[in-house]
Amino acid sequence: MTDPLTPGIAAGRLSAREIAANFVDLHAPLDAHEAQVAADRCYFCYDAPCVTACPTGIDIPLFIRQIATGQPEAAGRTIFDSNILGGMCARVCPTEDLCEGACVREAAEGKPVEIGLLQRHATDALMARQGHPYLRAAATGRRVAVVGAGPAGLACAHRLAMHGHDVTVYEARPKAGGLNEFGIAAYKSVDGFAAREVEWLCGIGGITIETGRALGRDLDLGTLAAEFDAVFLGVGLGGTNPLDVDGAEREGVADAVSFIAELRQAEDLTTLPVGRDVVVIGGGMTAIDAAVQARLLGAETVTIAYRRGRDRMGASRYEQDLAATKGVRILCNVMPVAVHGNGAATEIELEYTEEGEAGLVGTGRTLRLRADQVFRAIGQAIVAPDGLEMDGRKVRVTGAGRTSMAKVWAGGDCTAGQDLTVVAVAEGRDAAEDIHAALTGAAG
């Protein structure tokens, strides 16, 4: 085993036992009794604010009442009717900002109903049952191409298949799942849940997934639109934005997205190299996930450096506090100006910032931190597909995901809106309904 204090990037900083303990399920599932107790705290509000706060509009009071009356599988069906990826959303949604943040119990007592854990209890119960809970409608003979097997694409594909359409899903990576498979912290989705969820979702039939097929490389949007009755783009975001400072090309500087993807696919985490002193540039969920996991792999010091104030961070306060409990330091109002070292990174230089009338500006005051590994988590951009109008770095859509090209819809992170799994699911589902209406002549 590598000495944890060894400088530079090295594997095996912790033993296999320590790694296993660090990457256990972040929130243990509720057993039947715990679920009953948690469900009994719900007021079953008539005008439930938790439902309004849920991007997929799950009938939360109904499914909690079903759990309270001993019907967890019925509760699972209530959830899946609105959100077919309800199992993953129960694990990764920022419930503290959405349903639980709006809970009446939260306002009255500072302790909301544990909606996320109850949702996981219900969806796990139904997914454990043999057979898929939904049946396909009679075949329509219509064919739809879905580009991207992430949350938006999978939600769209399932709803279209349920309506009787044949769906071919094209995925650039070697596995389906998108962000759920490659882009979230390993301790949020243990035991291969993302892959099992994809397999379960496809159990409805009528969905074919082809991996290793990327738009712009292997697929042409115009050709797809000509060959299929409709196309849905759920391509997410592509390359990571560069770190435009002196020394950004030094060994040890990498993008956080790739680090998280490599970690998620690693069979043995003791073989994954990590620095002794790690600095993550950014303030969103990717920055948090990269920082926490670097610490769990054995990095001695891990620092998140964010250019604005803490209240401007994209990551929720809960996630910020989680990082702190794992030993991650968060520095705000600092921006990188240089990565120093002789070939490989050894230090990062940060400049203090302040908000002025002209926006964010540097103050001229700097500090240096030891850093043998620097991760950039400063946003991603989509490569614009030919023929589509864009809103900045996002695909322009109207209504339920209609793009500027006939027969082409889009949703998820490649379009404007919150970059959340639950939002992507809602957009994929709604686009599928609009596609179905267009294909069957029911569109208004």
User: DSSP readout, 297-311?
Assistant: TT-SEEEEEESS-GG
| Model confidence at 3: pLDDT above 80 | no
Torsional class of 291: left (φ above 0), alpha (ψ -120 to 50), beta (otherwise):
alpha
| Backbone CA torsion sign across 243, 249, 254, 255 | positive
For residues 397-427, b (16+ Cβ closer than 10 Å) or e, as one string?
A: beebbbbebebbbbbbbbbeeebbbbbbbbb
Question: How far, in Å, CA of 186 to CA of 168, rounded?
Answer: 28
* Average confidence (pLDDT) over 195-206: 97
Residue reference for tokens 């970059």:
419
29 Cβ neighbours under 8 A, 6+ residues apart: 117, 120, 121, 124
3-state DSSP call for residue 209? strand
Residues 396-415, mean pLDDT to the nearest whole number: 95
Select from 40, 142, 134 the least CA-distant residue to 79.
134
Distances (CA, A) of 341 to 103, 107, 247, 291, 303: 50, 51, 8, 21, 18
Of all helices (H) and strands (E), which one includes residue 74? helix 72-82
Provide mean pLDDT across the span 188-214: 97
Cα 175 from Cα 412, distance rounded (Å): 18
The first and second tokens of residue 263, run together, are 């970690």
CA–CA separation, 278 and 336 (whole Å):
14
Q: Are 172 and 213 in contact (CB under 8 A)?
A: yes
CATH code of the region 143-238+381-440: 3.50.50.60
What does the pLDDT look like over 297-315, one tens digit per residue?
A: 999 999 999 999 999 999 9
> Quick one: pLDDT at residue 334?
98
Q: What is the pTM of this model?
A: 0.94
Question: Could you identify the residue written with the tokens 């009338």?
Answer: 357
Q: At what angle do helices 115-127 and 60-68 cross, to 10 degrees?
A: 70
Other CB atoms closer than 10 Å to residue 186's CB: what's the count? 18
- Tens of pLDDT, residue by residue over 86-108, are 999 999 999 999 999 999 999 99
- Give the per-residue pLDDT at 12: 94
Q: Dihedral of the CA atoms 431, 170, 142, 205 (nearest 10)?
A: -90
Q: Assign 4 a pLDDT band (cuts: 50, 70, 90).
A: low
Q: Angle CA(115)–CA(149)–CA(289) in degrees, nearest 5?
A: 55
| pLDDT, tens digit, 9 for 90 and up, residues 21-36 | 999 999 999 999 999 9
The pLDDT tens digits for 334-343 are 999 999 999 9
d(CA 83, CA 95): 15
Q: What is the CA radius of gyration of the chain?
A: 23
Q: Report pLDDT for 392.
A: 84
When pLDDT is cut at 50, 70 and 90, the band that residue 55 belongs to is very high
Residue 36: CB atoms within 10 A of its CB come to: 16
CA angle 29, 35, 37 (to 5 degrees): 135
Tokens for 399? 């209504």
How confident is the model over 117-128, as a mean pLDDT? 98
pLDDT at 358: 84
- CA-angle at 346, arms to 343 and 347, nearest 5°: 125
pLDDT average, residue stretch 135-162: 97
**Cβ-contact 276, 8 below 8 angstroms:** yes
The residue extents of the domains of the chain are 32-127, 143-238+381-440, 241-376
Say which residue the tokens 């859509």 belong to.
Answer: 397
List, in order, residues 6 or more apart from 302 with CB less than 8 Å away.
278, 279, 280, 291, 292, 294, 295, 327, 328, 329
Does pLDDT of 443 surpass 70?
no
Report the candidate in 116, 117, 85, 121 with the shortest Cα–Cα distance to residue 199: 85
CATH of the structural domain 32-127, one choice from 3.40.50.2000, 1.10.10.10, 1.10.1060.10, 1.10.3720.10: 1.10.1060.10
pLDDT digits 0-9 by tens, 222-275? 999 999 999 999 998 877 788 999 999 999 999 999 999 999 999 999 999 999
Spatial separation of the C-alpha atoms in residues 338 and 323, rounded to whole Å: 25
For residue 218, what pLDDT is reported?
A: 94
CATH class assigned to 241-376: alpha beta
Exposed/middle/buried for residue 62 (C-beta within 10 Å: 0-12, 13-18, 19+)? middle
Residue 444 has pLDDT above 60, yes or no: no
32-127 and 241-376 share one CATH topology? no
Measured CA angle at 421 (ends 193, 194), to 5 deg: 10
